[in-house]
Structure 1
Amino acid sequence: MILIGNAVLSDDLKEHFFVCNLERCKGACCVEGDAGAPLDDEETAILDEIYPKVKKYLTEEGRRVIEEQGTWVYDMEGDKGTPTVGENKECAYAIKDDKGILKCGIEEAHINGEIDYKKPISCHLYPVRVTKYDEYDALNYDRWDICSPACGLGKELNVPIYKFVKDALIRKYGEAWYEELVLDIEGEKE
């Protein structure tokens, strides 16, 4: 267990390897599961604000669902998340590229300079899941068989999870926090 600031991180983040292999999984994490992407409270207001600029990137069905249900919804457990499309529960913000790989319409708008918001932090951090408690955040590796190609590629490239999600961790906790994490983990090797 690693403690940095108000975050407790599983040792899995330093011991396991991961690099998304979209050519193999086709972005299955945008479809699989029982709900859309988890959202922080601040993100719901952001989605409401950016939707007019994002909607042109979305599928017709994704737009329809969002316009019927809203830019975010409560899931079965009462948590906030992105709405989903159809029985397969594809995220309403998911789009397919010409290779059939699912990508994020929000991120496409960001890449094209139309919005500052990249995508939900839960998506950016994946395969790390954050559970919020009163006094701290618990960061754990979300093992999932659909990500086995990512585990294999991460091992082949020697990229531990904490390095794979570096930008997302900095986005969530800050540069100084991440530097402390690296020092804690890599200091152990000496």
Structure 2
Amino acid sequence: MILIENTCISDDIEDQLFVCDLEKCKGACCVEGDSGAPLDEEECAILDEIYPQVAPYLTEAGKAVIAQEGTYTKDWEGDFVTPVIDGKECAYALYDERGILKCGIEQAYNDGKIAYKKPISCHLYPIRITKYEQYHALNYDRWSICSPACELGSHLGVPVYKFLKEPLTRAYGPEWYQQLTQEIDERNAAKNNS
């Protein structure tokens, strides 16, 4: 376990090898699960604000669900999440020509229409953050749909914290990420010297 500022980072984030392999998983994390993508409260207001720019990227089914439920909703635990279509894919998801699910929010961002990339929970996956009063717990979420990502990460030798450098930096800042990599480097050096 690594402690940095108000974060508690599980060892899996250092040790687990992971690189998304969309050709194999087809973006299954946008479909599977028991509810939509977790949202921070401030992200709900952002989704309301950017929806007019995002809507042209979405499927008719996605737009219909958002028209009915709103740009965000609450799950069975009372947490804010993205709406889903018929209990399956996220309302913001769309299929590309290869049958891979992509994020309509991210497509709008990539086209320069908005400044918000996508919900941080999506950007950080497979890291899940649990927010407690005094600290955030960062854990690696093991899920069978990510087996291809584990295989590719192992083949390339890329640990999850390096694969997720951009969203970790987005969530906690460059100094935090630098401290994380320094801590991991020091731990690895100590292991190699023992």
Matches within 5 A, 1:17-166: 17-87=17-87, 89-166=88-165
Distance 1:90 1:22 in 2: 16
Pairwise CA distance, 1:132: 0.3
Distance 1:172 1:68 in 2: 31
Instruction: Kindly provide the amino acid, as one letter, of the partner of residue 152 in structure 1.
Output: E
Distance 1:61 1:6 in 2: 40
Q: In structure 1, the residue corresponding to 2:123 is in which secondary structure?
A: helix
Instruction: Kindly provide the amino acid, as one letter, of the partner of residue 91 in structure 1.
Output: C
Distance 1:98 1:53 in 2: 22
Pairwise CA distance, 1:187: 1.3
**Aligned: 1:6 with 2:6:** yes
Instruction: Kindly provide the amino acid, as one letter, of the partner of residue 90 in structure 1.
Output: E
Instruction: Kindly provide the amino acid, as one letter, of the partner of residue 114 in structure 2.
Output: I
Distance 1:29 1:170 in 2: 22
Pairwise CA distance, 1:160: 0.3
Pairwise CA distance, 1:185: 0.3
Pairwise CA distance, 1:142: 0.4
Distance 1:35 1:144 in 2: 15
Pairwise CA distance, 1:86: 1.1
Pairwise CA distance, 1:30: 0.1
Instruction: Kindly provide the amino acid, as one letter, of the partner of residue 41 in structure 1.
Output: E
Offset from partner CA, 1:99-142 (integer Å, 9 cap, x none): 00000000000000000000000000000000000000000000
Tell me the C-alpha RMSD between the 2 structures. 0.5
Distance 1:41 1:18 in 2: 29
Offset from partner CA, 1:29-87 (integer Å, 9 cap, x none): 00000000000011000000000000000000000000110000000000000000014
Percent sequence identity over matched residues?
62
Distance 1:8 1:188 in 2: 16
Distance 2:158 2:5 in 1: 24
Distance 1:144 1:96 in 2: 22
Distance 1:16 1:74 in 2: 31
Q: In structure 2, the residue corresponding to 1:129 is in which secondary structure?
A: strand
Distance 1:188 1:126 in 2: 24
Q: In structure 1, the residue corresponding to 2:188 is in which secondary structure?
A: coil
Distance 1:36 1:188 in 2: 36
Distance 1:146 1:189 in 2: 29
Relative to the length of structure 1, the TM-score reads 0.99
Q: In structure 2, the residue corresponding to 1:84 is in which secondary structure?
A: coil
Relative to the length of structure 2, the TM-score reads 0.97
Q: In structure 1, the residue corresponding to 2:158 is in which secondary structure?
A: coil
Q: In structure 1, the residue corresponding to 2:99 is in which secondary structure?
A: coil
Instruction: Kindly provide the amino acid, as one letter, of the partner of residue 67 in structure 1.
Output: A
